[in-house]
Amino acid sequence: MVDGTVSSDVAIGREMYGWARELFPVRRSLTGEGVRDTLRYLARIVPGLTMHEVPSGTSAFDWTVPDEWVLRDAFIADGEGNRIVDVNRNILHVVGYSKSVDAVMTRAELEPHLHCIPDMPDAIPYITKYYELGWGFCLAQRQRDALGEGPFHVVIDSVHSKGSLSYADIVLPGRETREIMLASYVCHPGMANNELSGPVVLAALGRWLSARQDRRFTYRLLFGPETIGAIVYLSKHLEQLRSSVDAGFVLTCVGDQRAWSLLQSPRADTLADRVAKHVLVARGVDFKTYDFLERGSDERQYCSPHVDLPVCSVMRSKYGTYPEYHTSLDDLSLVTAAGLAESFSVYREMIEVLEANETYIATQPCEPQLGRRGLYPGTGTRSSSFSVSTLADLLAFADGSRDLIALAERIGRSAIDCAKTAADLVAAGLLDSVPSSTGTGHSQRKEPI
């Protein structure tokens, strides 16, 4: 367990794992009832989380909200009517957004519509064809090898119809209007690390943030379908987000315990990147840093030109890097209560550091007389004249040029520890926080188009 994960986190980990177990069987897709069921479930955890519907056909930048896809049934049956591939056994068996088919066909006719992973004989791949009209089945190589020659009864009973794209958000106001954005996505069916871990950790953070007495930042939480959900959301809120978001994070692949990963923003030095890196380093976590060239989730939209939000992503095993990724093997045996709890703890610490990330300045020239204030040993001994404490170092470097993260890094200590010492020094009248400038997320923000 990562240093800093406290015992109450164990309970939260178990709770999150329970939510994932209940949400696992829900048939999610880009749109539709599965998404709405998932959002309704999450709204019971995060009070005030509000669902929004955007009608099919609505334009969003270069995109159009697609029709809803309702899947009633899908199977491949043998000559005797036995369902040898059946979507009721695993939702991944049908290619997402497949059109209807009802035909008897030979093995040769069926073949072009089958998808397997030859070197993972037990894994059903996850495949979607959102923007192309076709159909297909996904199955384990072992199943495919045992299919026989047919003829097969091949049925996909689906409907594409006008409906809406669903997402849910909540804005938790703080003392400042500057925002921290936290987003995850709810369109992946039948998989756990990618992606139920993100929504459940985000829900736990949302519950914790709503309960928090005093928030410095305003927090914006978003759950929607990946890509089109982010694009639709940005098309509605771009100017607000561009002018308010100081840091944002995409929560995805935060459920296993095998690795820590940091997918950086394109600039790699935004406030989001800085706090993520600082907390991972300060906790002594062994993590891999990925350039934005290895992006793969909604940061693709949040960090695109003209959007340019300070967004990064702290993950465990990153999408695309672990063998079970986008297959039926990415299930609830991969994700653990402890893994979820550690991720929750890291994100919570990142938020705590952001809350305390003031720019500090000493209140007077020269060192204060700490001895007189009981903050320093009064005896000049052999060692005290050259060993200097966190407290003295904070005062020595608090010249109003650095935020807490930079100050902590300058003096070689963790921001979360410095936050406490800084609070003591503020209470003693020795330190002050400089009024924060707006828009600290980017140093070189471009003007909106």
Other CB atoms within a 10 A radius of the CB of residue 382 amount to 7
Interaction of residue 371 with a second copy, rule CB under 8 A: yes
Q: Which of 79, 103, 378, 443 binds a second copy (CB under 8 A)?
A: 378
With beta carbons less than 8 A apart as the criterion, state whether 225 and 185 touch. Answer: yes
How many chain residues bind a second copy (CB under 8 A)? Answer: 72
Q: How far is the CB of 23 from a second copy (least distance, A)?
A: 21
For a second copy, the closer of residues 41 and 135 by Cβ is: 135
Q: How far is the CB of 274 from a second copy (least distance, A)?
A: 20
Q: Which amino acid is at 291?
A: D
Structure tokens at 273: 């990147």
User: Rounded to the nearest 10 degrees, what angle do helices 271-282 and 337-355 cross at?
Assistant: 120
Q: Which of 129, 215, 216, 237 binds a second copy (CB under 8 A)?
A: 129
Phi-psi region of 146 (alpha: psi -120 to 50; beta: other; left: phi over 0): alpha
With beta carbons less than 8 A apart as the criterion, state whether 198 and 263 touch. Answer: no
Q: Which of 158, 166, 218, 327 binds a second copy (CB under 8 A)?
A: 327
DSSP output for 200-225? HHHHHHHHHHHH-S--SSEEEEEEE-
Residues 6+ apart with CB under 8 A from 315: 252, 253, 254, 260, 261, 262, 263
Q: Give residues 92-121 in contact with a second copy (rule: CB under 8 A).
A: 96, 117
For a second copy, the closer of residues 63 and 208 by Cβ is: 63
Stretch that binds a second copy, among 7-15, 99-107, 147-155, 299-307 (CB under 8 A): 299-307
Interaction of residue 325 with a second copy, rule CB under 8 A: yes
For a second copy, the closer of residues 93 and 326 by Cβ is: 326
For a second copy, the closer of residues 337 and 395 by Cβ is: 395
For a second copy, the closer of residues 174 and 255 by Cβ is: 255
d(CA 191, CA 179): 31
Interaction of residue 393 with a second copy, rule CB under 8 A: yes
> Closest by alpha carbon to 288, among 320, 313, 263?
263
Q: Which of 361, 375, 406, 426 binds a second copy (CB under 8 A)?
A: 361
Stretch that binds a second copy, among 50-58, 79-87, 223-231, 418-426 (CB under 8 A): 223-231
Q: How far is the CB of 427 from a second copy (least distance, A)?
A: 16
Interaction of residue 366 with a second copy, rule CB under 8 A: yes
Q: Which helix (H) or strand (E) segment is 264 a member of? A: none
For a second copy, the closer of residues 307 and 415 by Cβ is: 307
With beta carbons less than 8 A apart as the criterion, state whether 439 and 243 touch. Answer: yes
Q: How far is the CB of 426 from a second copy (least distance, A)?
A: 14
